[in-house]
Amino acid sequence: MARHSERRRAADEAGQATGEYVGLVALVLVVVLAVIAGVTPVGSAVAGELVCAVQQVGDPAAPQACVSESRDQDPGDGGGDGGDDRYSPPTGDCEEDVTFGKVNLDEEYQSHVVQIDCVWYPVKTICASAEIPEGWFDRDDEDRVYLEDEIVEFVDCVTDGHGSPKDDPEDKSCVNALPTSGELDEDGPPKVQVGCKELPVPKGCEAQWEAYKDAPAGKERAGKSGDLANCITEVYGAIEPECVVSSSSHVDSENISFLFVRWGSSNGMLIEQLGDGRIRVHVLKGGEQGGGVTFDSTISFDVAGMTGYSMDKTYEFTDMEKAQEWIDWYKEYNKVAGKMNSDCTPSSEHWGKMCTPSGEGDELAEEEPEHHELSEGEGSSKKVEFTGGLSASTDFGPAEIEGSVEGGYEGEVSVDETLYADGATTVSYTSTDIGGFLIGASIGGGKPFAEDKKECKKKDSDESECGLNGAGAGSGGMEWTGTTQIEVNRNPDGSLLNVILRMDDQVLTTLANAGIDVEATLPRGFSVGGGWERTNQDGKASVREMILDFGQFPELEDQLGPKIDELFPLDDEGRLKKGDVDINGGEYTEGGSLYEEIDDHANVRELKYDMERDSEDGHLGVDLMGLNLFEAEWTSVDEKRDLKDSTFEVTDVNGKKQKVSPAPACKAVDFEPDEGYYADDFSDPPTRNKNPEHDLGAEYFDNESPRYTEDGPYPGTDYDGDVPGDKDDLVHSLVDEYSEAFPDVNILVVKDFENFSFEYVEGLEHLATVDGVDVIAIDKGTVKNKGDGGWTNWGFTGEFEREGDKTVHFSPQPGGGGICTVEESKSELFDADRLGNPPLVVAAAAAPGGGRGSKNGNC
C-alpha cells in the first residue's frame, strides 16, 4: 500500500491518466457491453438496464432511471447482495479506500471520477468496462466505496501511465497523463501536461480552460480535466501541419536539344517520414518543354518547398515496411508501364533504340501491394509581375539584390495545386528567387513588409525607410538564394483551414547580406527576436513557418477571404485558375491586412535539418562547323535530410506567445489508421512513360471485378426477365431493377466506364456487368461523365444533386449503410466517446433479408 500511495502522489504532481473517459450514459452502457463480451457475470436486471438505456439514449436521466427501475423490479439480481458481500467495509481513510463520484460537465452531462490514494481521477472507459467492481450498480452513489486492496485491477487500470513529461511521446510511464486535479499556480502561464508533453493551453480552448481552472482542486477539477485534454489535443492537431522528421529523394533529369529545338524532363521520388510514424511517398514528374523553351524545369527540393514538378501523386503508409513493399513494386511497374520493355530508358528513342510493346505492365498492375492514396498535385511555372518596386535604406546605403528592377519585377514562380482524397485542397506559390519575397511583400499592400509596422526601427535620417531596395547607386549586387512559399489550405467543404508563409534560412541570409534589417522588416516569425540564426553552413538548413489558423481565429475568415481569393482565384468547382494567378503590387496600395493578421496572430514553427546531397552529371554533344547539332545532358541527384531541432510558438488562451520544443507534431504518438485505410485495387500511379488515366483528384476504380457474376440476366438480383437489346432500354431496366434490389444505396449505370471519374467517393462497389454495361453502387461522392450523355450512356437513381449535364453529387440514402452480406451484419454495440464526454452509443441490429430476392442484406 505504501508503494501505491507514494507512486500516485508523485504522479499527481505531473498529471493524471489520459484515455477515453466516460460520463453518466457511457458508464452504464459500457459496463453492459463488457458483460455481453463475457467479461463480468451479471443477472437479468443489468441486461434490462441495457435495453432501457439504449431505448432512451440522449436522455441524461435515462441511465439512472433505468438502474432504479431494474432495482425496483428485481432487487435481488444483477450481482445484488452477493456481489456486495465479497467486499470488506471501507475504512474512511482516503489512503486505503477507493471512492467513486460524479461531476457535472455542463447542464446535460456528468463525468465519473474516482479517488485513489487521496487523488481524484476521471474514469477511463476501458476500466469501467473491464474492471468495474462487482455490485457497483446495486450501490447508491454514496455507498460506492471499496478497499483499494480488494479492487487492485481497477486501481491499476485507472492510475497506470503517470509520470513527468518525457521526450518519447509513447513512454509508458506518462502516456496517459492528464492535467492535474491538484492545485494550480495562479501566477503561472496556462500550461498543462497531456500525455508525455507539457503544452500551453492554446487559443480555442478558452471555455474548457476556464471551467478547469475555476473548479476546486480535487474531485471537481478531475471531472473537468478530460474535457480540457480533449480540446488541447484537437486544437494542436488542427493548427500544426504534419512535421517531416526525415526524408530522402532521388531525381533523374535530362535535357536534349537538336538544332534549335530543346526538350527535357525530370522524374523523381520523395520519401518522407512524419513525426507520428507515417511514411509518405511522392511520385513526381517534371515539366517537359520544347520549341525553344529554355527555362529549367528540373524537380528540386528545399525545406521550404518543392519546385519543377508537373505532377505529384502521394501515397501514405503506416510504417516503412509497408512503404518499402510498395516502392519495390513501383520500381518494377515503372520500368514497363506504357507498354515499354524493361530495358527502355527515357532517352532510348533519342538514341535510335526501338522500344517494343509489352503486356507486363498490366500483369504488375494486378499485383500492386496495399496502399493509401493521399493526394494528387499539379504544378506549373508562371510568369508574374510586381509593379511599384520596393525601397529601403540601410546603415550602408541603398541595397540592391540581383534580379530586382527599380519600379518593378518580372519573373517566375511555381503555382501548385494539390487535391486530397477527402476533398481538402492546397494551393501555393513557391519561388527560388526574389519573386517569392515580393509575393510576400504584396501581402503587405504592395509595400515593404514593414511599411506600416510600428516596430519598424527608424533611422535618424528622415529619408530612411524600412524594407527592401529595388536598386541603388553605389551598392554591390547580391545574388538571391533560398526558397519562399505562401500556401493556402482549405477544408473539404471549401472553407479556409489556414495560411502558411515559409522562408528558409538562405532567404534570411540573402536579406541580411544585402543590408536589410531582418528584425525590423520581416514578420516576427522571421525576425532575430523570434530566435532566427544563420544555419546555411554546409550540410545545414532550416525553415520558418508562420501558420495562421482560421479555427483559432474564425473571425478572420470573412475579413481575409477576399484577399486570399485575389491571390488564388478559384473556378466554380473550387479548382485553382492557374492562368489567372498574378502578382501585381500596384493593385495593393491600400494596406496589407493579410500580412498584418499573420504578424499578429500566426503560430510560428522552426525546423532545423542536417542535409546530404550527392549528384552525378553527364554530357554529350555533336558540333558541325561551329553549329550545335545535338546535345544531351543528364543529372542524377540524391538528397537526404534529418530533423535535428524544432520549436513551435503558439498563441495561448491569454493571447500570449508560448514556445514548445520539440514541436508537438515532430514527436507525436504513433498514427492509428481507421478501418479501410489501406486499399488493394490498382492506383494508376504516374510513370516516366505514362500519366494516370483518370482526372487529377479523382479516385481510381476498375471495372474488371464485379461482385456478382453468377448465372442470371441481372446478377445479384432475382430478375428473370429478358435483357433489352436497345442500350437506352437496358440502362433504364438496370437502374430500375438494381435500385429495387439494393434500396439503401445509390445506383449508377454506365456504358463506357473509362469515360467516368470519381471524386471523394465512399462505399463504391461494382455490382455487375450486363452486356458490357456496368452497374455501380455508391454511398456518396461526385461522378463526372467525360463522354456523351443520354440514357444510351448512363443512368442513375437515389439521393443526388445534379450540376450541369454531366456532374452528379451523390449523398447517402436515408437509413442506408452500404451493402453487406448477412454474415457481415452482426448485432453490436459500439461507442465513439471522447475524453471526459459521454460517448455516442449506437445499437446496430441485423438487417432483414435484403433486396428483392438478392443474396445480400442491406445494412
pLDDT at 462: 40
pLDDT at 387: 52
pLDDT at 679: 87
Of 627 and 254, the one with more pLDDT: 254
pLDDT at 146: 95
Lowest mean pLDDT among 107-121, 227-241, 287-301, 383-397: 383-397
- Cα 626 to Cα 260, 620, 623, 629: the distances in Å are 14, 15, 6, 9
Does the pLDDT of residue 658 top 90, yes or no? yes
pLDDT at 492: 86
Cβ atoms of residues 517 and 527 within 8 Å:
no
Q: What is the mean pLDDT of residues 299-312?
A: 86
Does the pLDDT of residue 70 top 50, yes or no? no
- State how far the Cα of 263 lies from the Cα of 454, in Å rounded to an integer: 50
| Residue 223 three-state SS | helix
- How confident is residue 702, by pLDDT bands cut at 50, 70 and 90? confident
DSSP 496-543: EEEEEEEEEHHHHHHHHHTT--HHHHS-GGGSGGGT-----STTEEEE
**pLDDT digits 0-9 by tens, 583-606:** 554 443 344 456 677 778 899 999
Q: What is the mean pLDDT of residues 214-225?
A: 93
At 304, which amino acid appears?
A
Q: What is the mean pLDDT of residues 761-782?
A: 92
pLDDT at 7: 32
Tracing cell 455542463 back to the chain, one arrives at 106
Q: What is the mean pLDDT of residues 803-818?
A: 81
Determine if the peptide bond prior to 673 is cis (ω within 30°). Answer: no
Quick one: which H or E segment has residue 55? Answer: helix 44-55
Of 854 and 611, the one with more pLDDT: 611
**pLDDT digits 0-9 by tens, 484-507:** 888 999 998 889 999 998 888 888
Most confident of 95-99, 485-489, 582-586, 609-613: 95-99
- How confident is residue 402, by pLDDT bands cut at 50, 70 and 90? very low
- Cα angle: 669, vertex 25, 51; to 5 degrees: 120
Backbone conformation region of residue 646, classed left if phi is above 0, alpha if psi is from -120 to 50, else beta: beta
- State how far the Cα of 607 lies from the Cα of 531, in Å rounded to an integer: 12
- Cα 550 to Cα 487, 500, 565: the distances in Å are 14, 11, 15
How many residues does this entry show for the chain?
859
Tracing cell 441495457 back to the chain, one arrives at 50
Q: In the beta sheet, which residues pair with residue 401?
A: 478
Cβ atoms of residues 299 and 251 within 8 Å:
yes
- State how far the Cα of 384 lies from the Cα of 579, in Å rounded to an integer: 11
The DSSP 8-state label assigned to residue 762 in this structure reads E
**pLDDT digits 0-9 by tens, 432-457:** 766 555 555 554 443 444 444 334 44
Of 164 and 262, the one with more pLDDT: 164
Does the pLDDT of residue 169 top 80, yes or no? yes
Q: What is the mean pLDDT of residues 324-336?
A: 90
- Cα 514 to Cα 398, 401, 433, 517, 764: the distances in Å are 9, 7, 14, 9, 57
- How confident is residue 385, by pLDDT bands cut at 50, 70 and 90? low
pLDDT at 481: 75
Q: In the beta sheet, which residues pair with residue 161?
A: none
For the chain, give the percent of residues with pLDDT over 70.
65
Cβ atoms of residues 402 and 600 within 8 Å:
no
- State how far the Cα of 791 lies from the Cα of 732, in Å rounded to an integer: 7
Q: Greatest CA span in the chain, whole angstroms?
A: 109
- Cα 842 to Cα 80, 294, 682, 823, 832: the distances in Å are 28, 62, 35, 20, 9
Task: Identify which of 432, 644, 637 has the alpha carbon closest to the alpha carbon of residue 541.
Answer: 644
- How confident is residue 818, by pLDDT bands cut at 50, 70 and 90? low
DSSP 12-35: HHH-EE-S-B-BHHHHHHHHHHHH
Q: Computed over its alpha carbons, how large is the radius of gyration of the chain?
A: 32
**pLDDT digits 0-9 by tens, 626-642:** 666 777 777 888 889 99
Average model confidence (pLDDT) across the chain: 73
Provide the 10 A C-beta neighbour count for residue 551.
Answer: 17
Cβ atoms of residues 525 and 602 within 8 Å:
yes
Distance of CA 116 to the CA centre of its chain: 38
Does the pLDDT of residue 854 top 80, yes or no? no
